[in-house]
Amino acid sequence: MNKKLTFGKVLGIIFCVLAAAGTVLLLLVNGYFGGQMKLIDKFYTTIERDDFDGFKACFAEDISSEVMEEHFSEFKNVISILQDNEKIHAKVEFVQRVSLSSNLFSNNSDCYVVYDVTIYNDEEHKEFRQVFPMEREGGKWVFDFYSPYYPIFL
C-alpha cells in the first residue's frame, strides 16, 4: 500500500497539534489567573452570606479573631452602602494584575489585583475600584493581610 500524506492530511495534523497546544495553554493560564477571581468572588460571597469562617479562609496568615472580626464588619459596612440591604449582591470584574516582585515596596505578595466592584439590589447600584494584594500559599491564591496595599479602594 502506498501511504502518501496529502496536503489536507498534513494540514489536519498541524491543526490538531496546534489545537491541543492551545488548549493546554488556556488551561494553564486559567488555572493561574482564574484562582484569583474565584478568591475575590468567594470573598464577597462570604460577606453577603455573613460567613465569617469563609471570610477568614480567604487570608494567608493566621490572624487573630478580633482583628478578622473587625475587618469583616468593615467590609460588611462597605457593601451596605445601599438603602435596602435585604437583597444586596456584589459583582466583581477583573481590571488588572500587577506583579510586585520588582516593586520597591513589595512585601511577600506575589501580585496585586485591581478589580471593579458593583454593589447592587433591585433598585440601585454603586460602583468602586479596589486593589487587593495576593500571594500563592499551598498552591492556591490567598489575600496578603499584612501587605502595605491591603485593601485599597480607588
Residue 76 lies in a domain: yes
User: DSSP strand E in 1-154: where?
Assistant: 89-99, 111-120, 125-137, 140-143, 152-153
Residue 3 lies in a domain: no
Indicate the length of the chain as a whole number: 154
Residue 1 lies in a domain: no
- Full domain range(s) for residue 125: 8-153
pTM for this entry: 0.62
Residue 141 lies in a domain: yes
| CATH code of the domain covering residue 142 | 3.10.450.50
Q: Is the pLDDT of residue 105 over 60?
A: no
Return the DSSP state at 141. E
Reported as a single tens digit per residue, the pLDDT across 37-56 is: 888 888 888 888 889 989 88
Region 122-151 average pLDDT: 76
Number of structural domains found in the chain: 1
Q: Is the pLDDT of residue 8 over 50?
A: yes
Residue 49 lies in a domain: yes
